[in-house]
Amino acid sequence: MTKIAIILGSTRPGRNGEAVAKWVLDIAKQRSDAEFELVDIAEYNLPHLDEAIPPLMGQYANEHTKAWARTIASYDGFVFVTPEYNHSTSGALKNAIDYLFAEWNDKAAGFVGYGSVGGARAVEHLRLIMGELKVADVRAQVTLSLATDFVNYSQFAPAEYHTPLVNAMLDQVVAWSKALAPLRRPAAA
């Protein structure tokens, strides 16, 4: 069965992303075309990138990196739930991505952004990053506005019209993850 990680890309106290990621997971769990799991980068306690050898080499020295690598290697595709901070994704998510290379390769990714303009600029930056990591990013994406999809900018209350958008994005992530399967090689962890 195809496995898709819904990656919660914020570690901030009181983060809005946790409610968003759980909402995406609830929608995904109603599907039977893949297995979906929530991966919270906060649980990995990754310091600023502290590996001496570039991730391209796949020679990880630290246990936190090895645990993160095993987790990411176990998935066929990803849905990144990202806030928009200063026209980009969170530093914590970028740092977590930068730890690895081969574990991301030849997989698919979709995006759910949230922020003042729906996290659109954060998603655009993630698309560029995914290209370098040999991740196929899908066209469909979900953009959630702090002004209209959150009460007082903090309590998540998505409009119903977002649900079909989440499913359209998941359709593409699952299909592309399956299509890319023949290209994937096991990553060293």
Residue 97, pLDDT score: 98
Report the alpha-carbon distance of residue 173 to residue 144 in Å, rounded. 19
Residue 185, pLDDT score: 80
Helix, strand, coil distribution of the chain in percent, nearest 5? 40, 25, 40
Average pLDDT over residues 9-28: 97
What is the residue type of 75?
Answer: Y
Residue 187, pLDDT score: 58
- Give percent of the chain with pLDDT exceeding 70: 98
Contact assessment for residue 134 and residue 164, using Cβ atoms and an 8 Å cutoff: no
Q: In what order do the strands lie in the sheet with 135-145?
A: 35-40, 3-8, 77-83, 107-115, 135-145
Average pLDDT over residues 97-102: 98
Contact assessment for residue 76 and residue 3, using Cβ atoms and an 8 Å cutoff: yes
Residue 189 has pLDDT above 60, yes or no: no
- CATH topology (fold) of 3-183: Rossmann fold (3.40.50)
Report the alpha-carbon distance of residue 47 to residue 11 in Å, rounded. 12
Helix (H) or strand (E) holding 145: strand 135-145
Contact assessment for residue 7 and residue 39, using Cβ atoms and an 8 Å cutoff: yes
Residue 87, pLDDT score: 96
Contact assessment for residue 131 and residue 138, using Cβ atoms and an 8 Å cutoff: no
Q: Would you say how long the chain is, in residues?
A: 189
Residue 188, pLDDT score: 54
Binning pLDDT at 50, 70 and 90, where does residue 29 land? very high
Please write the tens of the pLDDT for every residue from 43-53: 999 999 999 99
Residue 160, pLDDT score: 96
Q: Six-digit token pair at 74? A: 């176990």
Please write the tens of the pLDDT for every residue from 111-131: 999 999 999 999 999 999 999
CA R_g for the chain: 16
Please write the tens of the pLDDT for every residue from 55-94: 999 999 999 999 999 999 999 999 999 999 999 999 999 9
Binning pLDDT at 50, 70 and 90, where does residue 143 land? very high
What is the average pLDDT score of the chain? 96
